[in-house]
Amino acid sequence: MNFDLTAEQEMIRKTMKEFADEEVAPGAYERDKTKQFPSEIFKKLADMGIMGLPFPEQYGGGGADTVSFAIVTEELSRACGSTGITYSAHISLGGAPINLFGTEDQKQKYLTPICTGESFGAFGLTEPNAGSDAGGTRTSAREENGEFIINGNKCFITNASFAKHLALTAVTGETNGEKEISAIIVPTESKGFTIVDNYEKMGLNSSNTTELVLEDVKVPVENLLGKKGEGFKQFLITLDGGRIGIGAMAVGIAQAAYDKALAYAKERKQFGKSLSSFQAIQFKLADMAMKIELARTMVYKAAWLKDQGRPFSKQASMCKLYASEICMEVADQAVQIHGGYGYMKEYHVERFMRDAKLLEIGEGTSEVQRMVIARQIGC
């Protein structure tokens, strides 16, 4: 057994830690206020070869492993949750399904621009009536003269405004009375495709969350991703990988909240002593440190299992569930340790708390994770 990172993973950690501290953290407060998408940061990440990190080198990727992807996501999220979710969705929702299920041609055409950073990656699953119950998909794709004609709506889709194409799920027919759901790659410039970016969110304000409207959007049948009717199975596999990304985001945001709380507790004096000398505050910080350590270990274990080609579905759900819930708790306690100052934006911890909440909702809510785990343990 060995808990050490490899030399390559250590190097990625060091590089990303410095990048996050120097390039990402300084503007995070301002971007949260102005809702400005972190385009400049992503240009730099593209130059550094990070945008396609875990994908094969032949498509412009870095050929790195899932543990490295988790490290990058964690470090970016520690500095800025919005930057973290943008990266996590770009890789695990945008690039991964094309890498896993795409043909050689599709990979050349659609994965390469994701790896180079020319396009952001995005994935359209959720609809107004199909959230946790993704089987409720109503978007339809009718086949006619060698084309799919797609009609429907998607909601809450990350990165779509900055994507040149994205995979989305649509009903392509019916088998034995059951909806046949398929995944189709759709260029975002297609006629009849509208991307609306006007949600007012609780947090992750500088990430891009959009509504998609498809009215008679035509794409060639070659844009089918994988086999017809396998869209449901494909997105379950895609979400397994995505959950490692959300877990890594949670570890990063929790670490940021803990770091701020520890520094503040040492500096702030009440009753003639620093807060960190009070046992009540020490116990809060001890619990925070312990939970972050466990969450990180769970995330890396799920990533490692994936890298070994071993089943990792249960561990991905467990790490996502645990890390997102402790992230919320840690952010809450960080605000508490800051007292009234924690309620003020300039102390950052309230942003961590707002950003953290999404992690209990996106890529399967906490309730859905418990359902997945229950199924995995044979309930």
Ligand X SMILES: Cc1cc2nc3c(=O)[nH]c(=O)nc-3n(C[C@H](O)[C@H](O)[C@H](O)COP(=O)(O)OP(=O)(O)OC[C@H]3O[C@@H](n4cnc5c(N)ncnc54)[C@H](O)[C@@H]3O)c2cc1C
Site for ligand X, rule CB under 6 A: 89, 93, 123-126, 131-132, 156-158, 204, 209, 358, 361-365, 367-368
Residue whose token pair is 């995979």 = 167
Phi, psi at 377, each rounded to 5°: -95, 10
CA-based nearest residue to 16, from 52, 65, 50: 50
Q: Which residue is catalytic, options 211, 215, 363, 367? A: 363
Task: Round to whole Å and give the CA distance between 118 and 163.
Answer: 9
Give yes or no for a contact between 246 and 324, defined as CB atoms under 8 angstroms apart: yes
Question: Which DSSP helix (H) or strand (E) runs through 181?
Answer: strand 178-187
Residue 252 CB, nearest approach to ligand X (Å): 16
Task: Round to whole Å and give the CA distance between 156 and 257.
Answer: 26
Residues 6+ apart with CB under 8 A from 242: 88, 89, 92, 93, 96, 363
Specify the residue, 120 or 347, whose C-beta has the smaller distance to ligand X: 120
Specify the residue, 66 or 86, whose C-beta has the smaller distance to ligand X: 86
Residue 328 CB, nearest approach to ligand X (Å): 14
Specify the residue, 161 or 365, whose C-beta has the smaller distance to ligand X: 365
Q: Is 363 a catalytic residue?
A: yes
Contacts 24+ apart (CB under 8 A), 105-113: 105/222, 106/185, 106/223, 106/225, 107/59, 108/59, 110/165, 110/185, 111/52, 111/55, 111/59, 111/61, 112/59, 112/60, 113/164
Specify the residue, 93 or 316, whose C-beta has the smaller distance to ligand X: 93
Residue 98 CB, nearest approach to ligand X (Å): 15
Residue 128 CB, nearest approach to ligand X (Å): 8
Side-chain half-sphere CA neighbours of 221 within 13 A: 9
Task: Round to whole Å and give the CA distance between 72 and 114.
Answer: 16
Residue 203 CB, nearest approach to ligand X (Å): 8
Specify the residue, 113 or 124, whose C-beta has the smaller distance to ligand X: 124
Q: Is 191 exposed, middle or buried (0-12, 13-18, 19+ CB in 10 A)?
A: exposed
Q: Which two tokens stand for residue 83?
A: 């930057």
Measured at the alpha carbon of residue 45, what is the angle toward residues 346 and 238, in degrees to the nearest 5? 95
Residue nearest ligand X, CB atom distance: 131
Specify the residue, 214 or 368, whose C-beta has the smaller distance to ligand X: 368
Give yes or no for a contact between 184 and 173, defined as CB atoms under 8 angstroms apart: no
Do strands 165-175 and 123-124 pair parallel, antiparallel, or not at all (unpaired)? parallel
Residue 289 CB, nearest approach to ligand X (Å): 28
Residue 242 CB, nearest approach to ligand X (Å): 9
Specify the residue, 184 or 337, whose C-beta has the smaller distance to ligand X: 184
Other residues' Cβ atoms within 10 Å of the Cβ of residue 47: 10
Q: Which residues are catalytic?
A: 363
